Amino acid sequence: MVPTGPFSAENKVFEQHRDEWFHLHPGEFVAIQDDVIVEGFFGTYAEALRSGLQRFGVSRSFLVKQVWITEPVYCVS
């Protein structure tokens, strides 16, 4: 599936690396802007967000995503 819409470039990069990252960094977080990946993986969302803000600033969006093979599904009722 080809990602479209907001963060499509970032999701494409994530999909290209998903299997490799899952084997090396399962459950950790990564920050991506366009095709630029913040160096390192992070144990928490907050750490990845902080690193992304330091690297990219606040002028443009970037993606913080947890490394899993399949996306978790949450049901709220």
pTM: 0.87
CA distance 17 to 24: 11
Give the model's pLDDT for residue 15: 94
Q: Which domain holds residue 32?
A: 8-66
Counted domains in the chain: 1
CA distance 10 to 34: 5
| pLDDT tens digits, 7-61 | 999 999 999 999 999 999 999 999 999 999 999 999 999 999 999 999 999 999 9
Closest C-alpha to 60, from 41, 40, 32: 32
Give the model's pLDDT for residue 57: 95
Q: Is residue 15 part of a domain?
A: yes
Q: Is residue 75 part of a domain?
A: no
Q: Is residue 1 part of a domain?
A: no
H-helix segments, the chain: 8-24, 45-56
Q: Is residue 77 part of a domain?
A: no
Q: Is residue 2 part of a domain?
A: no
Q: Is residue 21 part of a domain?
A: yes
